[in-house]
Homo-oligomer: A and B are copies of this chain.
Amino acid sequence: MSNIKDIAAKAGVSIATVSRALRQPNLVKEKTALKIRDAIEALDYKPNMLAASLRRQKADAVIIAVPSIHNPFTSAFVQGVENVARENGTKVLLALTEGRQDLLDRHYEMIAGKQADGLILLDVISPSALAGQTPGDDPLPIVLACEYDSAVDQPRVRVNDLEAAAEIAAHVASLGHRQIAILSGPSAQRMSRDRQRGFRLGLRRAGIEEDDALVVGGDYSLRSGVAGANALLDSGRKFTAILCENDEMALGAIHAIAARGLRVPDDISVTGIDNLRFAEFANPGLTTIALPNEQIGEEAMRLMLDFAIDPDGARREVVVPHRLIVRGSTAAPTPRM
């Protein structure tokens, strides 16, 4: 493997000139640059980025930490981060935490180890290093996205979960539903709390009284959607719609309802939040709230870049818009005789 020294020798210049030709081409004479280009070509030289990063004290890489990429939401998010990173010559390293603190911490060490410049976090947990921070300390290069814990104070990009949930609840109420069930997520998570509060807010605004007996807890998985819907149906309580805190549970709920020979939306309307790709092609198509997943990733990366320039002056929060998407899974309740 050839290095900068070989190129310098071959081109008959100093290594400093080679380095400049690569990094600040305008500082080197055209003719010299040409010789260097030839040498690079001839020796198939590839700069050692490790050495460059070590010297410049900058890795030009960021880590995205996510619990799992089994989630289609995550995918689009990562794509968004990639988009902006690419434009800025930054590499993106994806880290999977599985929700485990130790794994997250180990990945976070890559920052201390200078292998990455910052961390973009799409998870409910956060690095231990963050907890150990006191007001006087230097700010940490961490950007939070959506699922953050509200306790930590870092640059963040988020959706208005509360209003999004209220909006879809309003949609269902406007169709004429009055007995409306809720399939919630883990109430330990801020996002879940916000969405549930949003559902309730939307119902109250429509003059519908809340009924805690129609609220069932899940964990955002397909499977818990099935379980939740079954629990509701088994309870014997009457309801004509289920508001689910995410699409996965909604798809599970639809599956469970169909499995009992009931029909969506004729017997029960179902809604989600997220607008996964599969939501459009479910049977029936799922009424949901579209989140600009990719844009969220893009904004997160921009916050990261801002931070690199000015750790203290960087923007603290970006709120991205959501949008109601009505499909076949919601309809007016069928009058019972």
Mark A residues whose CB is within 8 Å of B.
1, 46-51, 53-54, 59, 68-70, 72, 74-76, 78-79, 82, 86, 91-94, 96, 103, 109-110, 112-115, 222, 225-226, 251-252, 254-255, 258, 277-278, 280-285
Q: Check if A91 sits within 8 Å of B75, measured CB to CB.
A: no
Q: Check if B82 sits within 8 Å of A75, measured CB to CB.
A: no
Complex Cα spacing A272 to B82, Å: 31
Can you list the 10 inter-chain pairs with the closest CB atoms, starting with the nearest?
A: A46-B112, A49-B113, A94-B94, A255-B281, A69-B75, A283-B283, A50-B54, A50-B114, A70-B75, A258-B283
Q: Check if A50 sits within 8 Å of B226, measured CB to CB.
A: no
Shortest C-beta distance, A70 to chain B (Å), equals: 5
Q: Check if B50 sits within 8 Å of A113, measured CB to CB.
A: yes
Q: Which residues of B contact A78 (CB under 8 A)?
A: 69, 94, 96
Beta-carbon nearest neighbor of A278 in chain B: B278
**Other-chain residue from B74, B96, B114, B282 in contact with A49 (beta carbon distance below 8 A):** B114
**Other-chain residue from B76, B281, B283 in contact with A70 (beta carbon distance below 8 A):** B76
For the complex formed by this chain, how many copies does it contain in all? 2
Q: Which residues of B contact A251 (CB under 8 A)?
A: 278, 281
Residue of A53, A78, A115, A281 most packed against chain B (CB within 10 A): A281
**Other-chain residue from B46, B50, B114 in contact with A59 (beta carbon distance below 8 A):** B50
Beta-carbon nearest neighbor of A106 in chain B: B86
Majority SS at the chain A contact face? helix
Q: Told that A70-B79, A222-B281 touch, could you supply 19 new A-B pairs with CB distance under 8 A? A: A46-B109, A49-B113, A50-B115, A51-B54, A54-B54, A68-B75, A69-B75, A69-B79, A70-B75, A72-B72, A91-B110, A94-B94, A222-B277, A222-B280, A225-B281, A226-B281, A255-B281, A278-B278, A282-B282
Complex Cα spacing A47 to B76, Å: 34
**Other-chain residue from B92, B113, B115, B281 in contact with A94 (beta carbon distance below 8 A):** B92
Shortest C-beta distance, A331 to chain B (Å), equals: 16
Beta-carbon nearest neighbor of A58 in chain B: B50
Q: A75-B70, A277-B70, A277-B222 are in contact. Are A113 and B47 (CB under 8 A)?
A: yes
Q: Which residues of B contact A115 (CB under 8 A)?
A: 49-50, 91
Q: Which residues of B contact A109 (CB under 8 A)?
A: 46
Shortest C-beta distance, A103 to chain B (Å), equals: 8
Q: Which residues of B contact A75 (CB under 8 A)?
A: 68-70, 75
Complex Cα spacing A254 to B226, Å: 20
Q: Which residues of B contact A47 (CB under 8 A)?
A: 113
Shortest C-beta distance, A254 to chain B (Å), equals: 7
Q: Check if A96 sits within 8 Å of B82, measured CB to CB.
A: yes
Beta-carbon nearest neighbor of A47 in chain B: B113
Shortest C-beta distance, A225 to chain B (Å), equals: 8
Q: A70-B75, A75-B69 are in contact. Are A113 and B48 (CB under 8 A)?
A: yes
Shortest C-beta distance, A63 to chain B (Å), equals: 10
Q: Which residues of B contact A92 (CB under 8 A)?
A: 94
